[in-house]
Structure 1
Amino acid sequence: MSAVPNQAGSWSTLETPLSEPIMETLGLLGFDAMTPVQAGAIPLFMKNKDVVVEAVTGSGKTLAFVIPIIEKLTRREDPLKKHEIGALIITPTRELAQQIHSVFSTFIDDHPKKDQLTLGLFIGGTTTLAQDITTFNQSCPRILIGTPGRLEELLTRSQKIVNTKELEVLVMDEADRLLDMGFSQQLSRIIAQLPKQRRTGLFSATMTDAISELVRAGLRNPVRIVVKVEDLTSKGSVQRTPASLDINYIVCDPEQKLIQLVRLLQAELNDMEGARKFIVYFATCACVDYFYKLLKQIGDLKPFSLHSLHGQMDTKRRTATYTNFTQLPPAVPAVLLCTDVASRGLDIPDVDYVIQIDPPQDPKAFTHRCGRAARAGRKGKATVFLIRGREETYIEFLKLRKIPLERGYYRLEDGSVCDNVLKNDDAEDEKITTSEVEDASVAPFIATLRAIVKKDRDMHDRGMKAFVSWARAYSKHEASFIFRLKDVDLGRVATGYGLLKVQKCPN
C-alpha cells in the first residue's frame, strides 16, 4: 500500500515534471496544488506502475488519470498510426463518460500536440454501432472514453478496426459501480482485447471482493492507494465522507417530509450565505417524475429553477437536463430531483446541499449521494429525512460505517425550529427517540397537494405509480432489518404524496 501525503504539494514538486501545456492549463483552472489522490497516483502512473485507488467521492480522481494519459501519449517516440489507440477509459454511465470527455477537452483543445490526443466518446443511446464505427474511421481517436457495452461492441464487432496493440493506459473509473451494474463480463471481454504490457488504473470509492477479483485478473502487481478522511472531532478515527461536508438528519412523520423539504429550501434561500444549488434524492424514477411535476406547482418554490434526472429518461433528455443544471450561474437557486443515477461520478459544479427524501436502498450509496456536495474541498451540507420510529436506528448503522451525522431540527412555519427529541424514556418502542410534532400547517399543505392532484388525472395516475414504486423499493431495502414495510404507516405515506386513497401495495 502506498503512503499518500496528507497535505499534497504543488504540481512542481512531482518527481517527473509535467509539461508546460499541462501546467498552463492547471494554472488557468486555478488548480495550484494537488489533492492527495493526485499526489499519490500521478507519479506511479508516470513510473509505469498499475494503481488501485480508493478515495472518497469528490477527491480529484479524474485529473489523477487524465494528466498521466496526456503526458504519456505526447512523450511517445513513435506517434500512433491511423487506427491505433493509446488510452481507454471505461465508466458505468453515459453522463460520467461525457464529463470525463469534457475534462480531457479542457487540457487538449489548445495543446500544441492535440493531433496526437484526439478524443472518441462512445456511449450508445443516441448512436448505432455502425455510426460509431464510421465516426472512429473518420476521426481516428487516440483516447477512447465510453460505457462498457458500446466499447465492447467497438472492440469485438467492428472487424477489428480498433487497433489496441499500442495501448498505453486502461482506466476503469467508478469500478465498484461498474461491477454493481453487472458489467463484469463486458469488462473481461474488453480486457481480453488489450495488450498485457499496459498500465492499468482502477479507481473506486469502495473496495469489494468483486473488485479484488478484477484486480487479480486485469492488473500486474498494482500499488494500492487509499485516501482516507480523518474525523477532526475524534482524532485518529476515519470517516468515509469529506471533512468539509456537514451531514445531519431530520426525523419526522411520513406526511411531514415534503413540507420539511420546502421549508429547508426556503430557509437556505432566505439566508444571504445559504445554499443555492440543491440535489434532492428520491427512491425511484416514478417518484422523481411525480414530485417534479407536483413541486413545480408549489408557490413557495417559484424562486427555484427545478430539474429532474433519472435512469429511465431517454439519453437526449438526460443530457439536456444535466447540461441545463450545470450551466446555471452559481447565484441562481436551483433544485435537481433525481435517483441514484446522479449519486456517483457526476461532477456537478457548485452543489451546496444534498437532501435525501428517501435513504438509499444500498447503504454505500449514502456516501456517494452526500458527496455531490463538498467536492474538491468545497464546503457543503447534506440532510437525510427519516421516518419516526424504526428508521432512527439508521443513524447508528451509518456511524458503524464511519459516516458521522448530527441531529437536525424540525422546521416550523414561522422559520423557527423544534427539537423533537423525546425528553424521557416513556416511548413504548425503544427504537423511537423522537416525539411527534403537532404541526398545524401540515393539513393545509396536504390539502394544496390534493387540490393539484384532483384537477389532473395524469397527476393522479403518476402519484399512484410513484407511491407503489416507493413501497416496492422500500420492501427491497438492503438494510431490511431497519427498513421494514410492515413498520410503516402506509396511509400517512400516501397522505404525504397528496393521494386521496391508498393503492394496494406489494407484499
Structure 2
Amino acid sequence: MTFEQLDLIQPILEALKQQEYTTPTPIQAQAIPKILDGNDLIGCAQTGTGKTAAFSIPIIQKLTESAEHGKRRMVKALIITPTRELAIQIGESFEAYGRYTNLKHAVVFGGVSQVPQVNLLRSGVDILIATPGRLLDLYNQGIVKVPHLDFFVLDEADRMLDMGFIHDIKRILQIIPAKRQTLLFSATMPPEIQKLANAMLHKPQRVEVTPVSSTVDIIKQLVYFVEAKQKKDLLVTLLNNETVESVLVFARTKHGSDKLVKSLVKEGIRAEAIHGNKSQNARQNALNNFKDRKTKVLIATDIAARGIDVDQLSHVINYELPEVPETYVHRIGRTGRAGNKGVAISLVAPEEVKHLNEIEHLIKKKIRVVYDHPFVSLASALGASKAMDNAKVAPAPAKGKGYRGSKANGDFFRRKKREGQRSASKKR
C-alpha cells in the first residue's frame, strides 16, 4: 500500500514526498481511513510505530477541507501529551505534514516563560499541542478557549497515568465540547485507561499493532551479568567499541544519571543527561546535541525518555533493569526503527535477575547472555547462578559465537561456583 491509496489530498502527498515517505506503517494504514471517516479511535501502539502521523495526517486533511477562509483562526484540534519533548516532536510532525496547507499550530508546555506561547495563541491557531498542566493554566487565565473544538487527541495515555495526570485529563474533558471526534493512543491498556476510554469515546474503532509483549524482532537483545559496582567499568568498555555509534542509556534515578555522565566524561566519552530536574532549555539542548551526533551518549530516566525519537539509534543500554517488565519493551523500542538494525544491551547485577526473568516471561523469549567479558567475577557468577536457580529459568538454545542461552550461562556460573568451592577448600 502507498499513501496515494489512502485518498490523501495533494498538499499532504507533496509533504510526504518531501519527507521521502511512500509507504504507510501498519498503524497509519489502518487508522488514517477510520479517522477520515469520522470515527472515534483507540490506537494501541508503542512509540516508533508511526502513530503521530496516523493521527496528524487525517486531522490536517479534515481541517484543510473544512477551513472557513477569512474567519479568525480558532482551536479546532487539541492534542494532549505527557512530556515537553513529545509535544515538541508532535509539533514538528504537524509542521512537516502540513507545510503545504494554510493551517497554523502552536505547542505549549511548562517549565518556560508563557509569554511567547501566549502571543502565538492570541494571533490565532488551528491546532494546539499541549502538556496538561500548562494547558489548564492558560485556560484558567482565559487565554486558551476551545468552544469550537472538532478533534481531541490523548497521546501516550498510559504514561499520563504513570505520571499522575489522570485528574488533569478529567478536568480537560470537562472544558471541551461533548460533540467532537476523539482519538486515544496508548502503548498498553490497563483497566484505568480502558475505563477512561469508555467514558470519553463514542463507539470507537480499535487499531492495535505491535502488542507490548512483543519486542521488535530486528533488535538484537543481549544480557551481560556483572556486579553492580563494576557496571560503570563495563559500560565504558562497551561504549569504546567502534560499532557503538549512538547510545541511549537508561538509568533509574535523576541523581544516578548525573553521576554517570560525570564518570563517562571523565573517561573521555561525550555524554549528557536528560531528566525532570533539568531545565527545558537544558533538556532540549541535550536532545539536539544527541540527534546531531555531537553527543555520543544520552543518559535518561524513563519518564524523560518517553518523547525521545531519534533516527538510526544504534544501541539502547539498560544500565539498570526496570522493575516493570513492560518498561523494558518501551526502552528497547527506541532502536531498530524504520527497518534499521538495533542492539539492546542489559547490564544485570545478581539482585536484578528476578526482573530479567519477568521480562523474559513477558516477551516470551530468552535473551542471549554474553558471559565471556572481563567483568564476570566469581561473586557475580555465584549471585546470578543462585538467582537463576530460584527463578527456575528454562533452557534456551545457544546461538552465535560468544553467546549462550540461559542454560549454558547457568552451567558456566555453576562451574565457577564449584571452582570457588574447591579453591576455598584448599585454603582451609
TM tier, smaller: 0.7 to 0.9
Runs of 4+ in 1 over 3 A off after TM superposition: 130-135, 410-413, 416-423, 425-429, 431-434
Tell me which residue corresponds to 2:423. none
After superposition, the Cα gap between the structure-2 partners of 1:210 and 1:247, relative to the gap in structure 1 and judged at 3 Å, is same
List gaps (5 residues or longer) in structure 1.
1-8, 230-237, 439-507
| 8 Å Cα contact 2:105/2:128 also seen in 1 | yes
C-alpha displacement at 1:429, in angstroms?
Answer: 8.0
C-alpha displacement at 1:411, in angstroms?
Answer: 5.2
| 8 Å Cα contact 2:321/2:352 also seen in 1 | no
**Counterpart mapping for 1:225-264 below 5 A:** 225-228=207-210, 239-264=213-238
Tell me which residue corresponds to 1:363. 325
| 8 Å Cα contact 2:272/2:298 also seen in 1 | yes
Tell me which residue corresponds to 1:354. 316
After superposition, the Cα gap between the structure-2 partners of 1:408 and 1:189, relative to the gap in structure 1 and judged at 3 Å, is same
C-alpha displacement at 1:199, in angstroms?
Answer: 1.0
Q: Distance in 2 between matches of 1:29 and 1:131?
A: 28
Q: Is the partner of 1:127 in helix, strand or coil?
A: coil
| 8 Å Cα contact 1:253/1:436 also seen in 2 | no
Q: Distance in 2 between matches of 1:223 and 1:399?
A: 32
| 8 Å Cα contact 2:316/2:335 also seen in 1 | yes
Q: Is the partner of 1:431 in helix, strand or coil?
A: helix
Aligned residue identity for 1:409 = V
Q: Is the partner of 2:18 in helix, strand or coil?
A: helix
| 8 Å Cα contact 2:353/2:387 also seen in 1 | no
Tell me which residue corresponds to 1:406. 367
106, 120, 124: which is aligned to 1:120? 106
Q: Is the partner of 1:24 in helix, strand or coil?
A: helix
373, 385, 396: which is aligned to 2:357? 396
Q: Distance in 2 between matches of 1:418 and 1:11?
A: 54
Tell me which residue corresponds to 1:336. 298
Tell me which residue corresponds to 1:148. 132
**Counterpart mapping for 1:63-462 below 5 A:** 63-76=53-66, 78-79=68-69, 81-82=71-72, 84-109=74-99, 111=100, 113-114=101-102, 117-128=103-114, 132-137=117-122, 139-155=123-139, 157-159=140-142, 161-228=143-210, 239-267=213-241, 269=242, 274-298=243-267, 302=268, 304-328=269-293, 334-388=296-350, 390-402=351-363, 404-410=365-371, 412=373, 430-431=389-390, 433=410, 435=413
C-alpha displacement at 1:436, in angstroms?
Answer: 9.1
Q: Distance in 1 between matches of 2:167 and 2:74?
A: 24
C-alpha displacement at 1:422, in angstroms?
Answer: 7.5
Q: Distance in 2 between matches of 1:60 and 1:426?
A: 41
1:137-179 deviation digits (Å, cap 9, x = unpaired): 1x21110011001112223x133x5442332211111110011
C-alpha displacement at 1:89, in angstroms?
Answer: 0.6
After superposition, the Cα gap between the structure-2 partners of 1:380 and 1:403, relative to the gap in structure 1 and judged at 3 Å, is farther
Q: Is the partner of 2:363 in helix, strand or coil?
A: coil
Q: Distance in 1 between matches of 2:387 and 2:165?
A: 47
Q: Distance in 1 between matches of 2:36 and 2:271?
A: 44
**Relative to total residues, which structure has the larger helix share, 1 or 2?**
2
Q: Is the partner of 1:376 in helix, strand or coil?
A: coil
The percentage of aligned residue pairs carrying the same residue is 34
| TM-score, normalised via structure 2 length | 0.85
| 8 Å Cα contact 1:247/1:404 also seen in 2 | no
How much is the aligned-residue C-alpha RMSD, in angstroms? 2.9
Tell me which residue corresponds to 2:5. 13
1:328-382 deviation digits (Å, cap 9, x = unpaired): 2xxx771111211343232122211000111123332211111111123321110
Aligned residue identity for 2:259 = Y
List gaps (5 residues or longer) in structure 2.
392-409, 417-428
C-alpha displacement at 1:275, in angstroms?
Answer: 3.3
Aligned residue identity for 2:141 = S
C-alpha displacement at 1:20, in angstroms?
Answer: 1.1
Number of residue-to-residue matches in the alignment: 396
Q: Distance in 2 between matches of 1:418 and 1:47?
A: 61
Q: Distance in 2 between matches of 1:198 and 1:241?
A: 35
C-alpha displacement at 1:77, in angstroms?
Answer: 5.3
